[in-house]
Homo-oligomer: A and B are copies of this chain.
Amino acid sequence: MPEMNLVQSINSALRHEMKANDDVIVLGEDVGKVGGVFRVTKGLFDEFGADRVIDTPLAEGGIIGTAIGMALYGLRPVPEIQFSDFIFPAFDQIVSEAAKFRYRSGGEYTCPMVIRTPVGGGIRGGHYHSQSPESLFIHTAGLKVVCPSNPYDAKGLLLSAIRDDDPIMFFEPKRVYRAVKMEVPEEEFTVPIGKAKVVKEGKDVTVIAWGAMLFEALASAQEVAENDGVDAEVIDLRTLWPVDIDTIVESVKKTGRVVIVHEAPKACGFGAELLSLISEKAFLHLEAPPKRVTGWDTPFPYTLEMEYLPLQHRITPALIETVRF
């Protein structure tokens, strides 16, 4: 099996599905000849031509608006937003239109599409190349939200997403793009949307993470195992919404303690929803207050970004505190 990084595995999924299904269309800024600023769509333009891999004018609202039109007609567009920080000019199309089309039309029109976009910090991007806006889309009824942490899941989830009948936000952790390599099947396979993965079993505390922070959570789990004899269970959510509540509740019922990690600011971040769901569904099993380790409630800073992110150095003490509560 070939080794792939995240960029390559996503590219492989796109290539596979474009070959298999003529209706799959890639569109976005710079996705064509140059293959995207992160090279995720590299080679697709040469293979499938300018009619399947469309370099658009610089307008995210146009990318999503036209993609919606394509989806309404019956195509399967996979628009790319160059950075998720630049998704806001398309926000109206996503939350007012794509998310509501099936519902408001009584099921007559549907919007199957996958909005791919790099997310997260740690690449020296400052305010506008680092943000993690997932909770805004989770709050919007009608959208599914996916965020793989590794090349294997990314390919499997993207194939599931393109075949799914709903609009899906597909967040790609850009800090992982080239940082992680693993074996990924050349051929097609799927990872189901809506299923989390317990990536490390444990009995003392549950850590919930996704995307680039999964690796920080794992590093902390290892650190507390070695230094403190704490046995942490680590869950990679993979699909953020609709979240895999069963896996979470089962784990928390076992450990009684939970730490949630995400890059986005804390206030109204997805951590708040996870904490609330856990409180609602497993209150009597909680032996300590669930903890959130998140980005601070500030814009994303440039020089001090490593002090902003909820990295291992901040997760580890949170685990210890939660276990010792």
Which residues of A are in contact with B by a Cβ distance under 8 Å? Answer: 85, 88-89, 91-92, 95-96, 99-100, 103-104, 127-128, 135-136, 138-142, 241, 264-265, 267-273, 275-276, 279-280, 283, 288-292, 296-299
Write the chain B residue with the least CB distance to A278: B279
Point out the residues of chain B lying under 8 angstroms from A91, CB to CB.
Answer: 88, 91-92
Point out the residues of chain B lying under 8 angstroms from A273, CB to CB.
Answer: 267-268, 272
Q: Considering the chains assembled together, what is the distance between the CA atoms of A280 and B325 in angstroms? A: 12
Copies in the complex: 2
Q: Considering the chains assembled together, what is the distance between the CA atoms of A99 and B85 in angstroms? A: 14
Closest CB pairs A-B (n = 4): A88-B92, A283-B289, A139-B268, A272-B272
Partner of A298, one of B89, B141, B268: B141
A280 adjacent to B289 (CB under 8 Å): yes
Point out the residues of chain B lying under 8 angstroms from A275, CB to CB.
Answer: 272, 275-276, 279
Which residue among A96, A272, A296, A299 has the maximum number of chain B CB atoms within 10 Å of its CB? Answer: A272
A267 adjacent to B279 (CB under 8 Å): no
Point out the residues of chain B lying under 8 angstroms from A267, CB to CB.
Answer: 138-139, 141, 241, 273
Q: Considering the chains assembled together, what is the distance between the CA atoms of A292 and B279 in angstroms? A: 11
A265 adjacent to B96 (CB under 8 Å): no
Q: Considering the chains assembled together, what is the distance between the CA atoms of A125 and B135 in angstroms? A: 25
A299 adjacent to B139 (CB under 8 Å): no
Beyond A100-B299, A139-B267, 6 additional pairs, beta carbon < 8 A? A88-B95, A99-B299, A104-B127, A136-B268, A272-B273, A276-B292
